[in-house]
Amino acid sequence: MNHLTFALTSDGSKTIFNEEVGENYHSRHGALQESQHVFIGSGLSYFLESTNEKKVSILEVGFGTGLNFLVSADFCAKNGVELNYSGIEAFPLPEEMVSETGYNQYISEDLWNSFLNQYSATLHQPCAILDCCSLHIIEKKLLDFTSDKYFDVIYFDAFAAVHQPEMWNLASLTHISKFLKSGGIFVTYAITGELKRTMKSLGFTIEKVPGAAGKREMLRATKS
């Protein structure tokens, strides 16, 4: 793990720089604000407000440090929502590095402690992190992922296409979209002409919504 180092982002939250990929795990304009804006505000919260559901299943592509999960679980706990969360991560971080992110300051103490205590176990099976929340980290590459479950929301948080183009091609997006329910939400920090065309070709309704700090726009897509 010598190729991974912590970096401080503009909102004071930490990210990790992957020297091998040449990319940060989160936006340098703010790891926390990106997670809250892109995935909570434009994904999870949008889905719940649109459907009036009190139960949601989320699939994340690129689990990374676990920040998106933690803020999602904290949001759901505070709003009385049952959360079933699965994260695909080909190269899970060691527990010691996750514990040094400092994300405990953004969520409840119970959530943080339970997450760390069961982090290793979630790599093998779904685990109850809180009474209202379960987590399963799947140690696979995207195209090797399979499931008999269908999800309400997909958080697509892979490294940028310039560094990891194989994650954004037609084959990868076709594969992961199969696991989204009809009417489900696909949300990502990125937006390009090619991405919009690909998602439209897969039967999604496309929205350009305001991006997080440092990005004018981002993509939200609803599966028809």
**pLDDT, averaged in runs of 10, over the chain (224 residues):** 93 96 95 98 98 97 98 98 98 97 98 98 97 98 97 97 96 98 97 96 97 95 96
Residue 18 lies in a domain: no
Task: Give a yes or no: residue 94 inside a domain.
Answer: yes
Between CA 93 and CA 119 the distance in angstroms is 10
DSSP state letters, 145-203: ---S--EEEEEE-PPPTTT-GGGSSHHHHHHHHTTEEEEEEEEES---HHHHHHHHHTT
Residue 9 counted as domain residue: no
Q: How many domains does the chain have?
A: 1
pLDDT for 46 equals 98
Distance CA 77, CA 79 (A): 6
Residue 21 lies in a domain: no
CATH number (domain holding residue 108): 3.40.50.150
The kind and range of the H/E element at 98 are helix 95-99
The pTM for the full model equals 0.97
Q: Closest Cα to residue 70, out of 49, 43, 40, 41?
A: 40
How would you class 158 by CB atoms within 10 Å of its CB: exposed for 0-12, middle for 13-18, buried for 19 or more? buried
pLDDT, residue 83, reads 98
Render the burial of 53-86: b for 16+ CB within 10 Å, e for the rest.
eeebbbbbbbbbbbbbbbbbbbbbbeeebbbbbb
Note the pLDDT tens digit of each residue in 88-118: 999 999 999 999 999 999 999 999 999 999 9
Instruction: Let me know if residue 5 belongs to a domain.
Output: no
Q: Domain range for residue 196?
A: 30-223
How many Å separate Cα 77 from the centre of its chain?
Answer: 17
Does residue 20 belong to any structural domain of this protein?
Answer: no
Is residue 73 a part of any domain in this protein?
yes
- For residue 146, is it within any domain? yes
